Amino acid sequence: MLPVDGRQLEKRERRVVETEEERSRRLSTIAQRWQERGAEETEEQRNCRLAVMGQGSQQGRAEETEEQRNIRLVIMAQRGQERRAEGTNEQRNS
């Protein structure tokens, strides 16, 4: 696990005591900032940002052990099953 500096620890402590309303407000603000950023971003900037993100994912996968890879794939499969089950339940309820 990564070391936690003082600021990160303070943020974590504040979030522990934050109310649901405060959490919703904070997440809404974050989402709005991302939306504004996306509106200001050119297509070239977006493509560059996505390429950098993809490279990070590839590097992380290249460095992961076989056990870590297997765990990641099991989690992905479980999420897929959950989504399919939710879709089936929604169809039944329609």
pLDDT in tens, 17-62: 778 888 899 999 999 998 888 788 888 998 998 999 999 888 888 8
Distances (CA, A) of 14 to 5, 82, 84: 15, 32, 37
Band (pLDDT 50/70/90 cuts) for residue 4 is low
Q: Which residues, at least 6 apart from 18, have a Cβ–Cβ distance to it below 8 Å?
A: 26
Whole-model pTM? Answer: 0.37
Higher pLDDT, 84 or 37: 84
The tokens of 90 are what? 């929604």
Higher pLDDT, 20 or 79: 79
Q: What is the pLDDT of residue 89?
A: 79
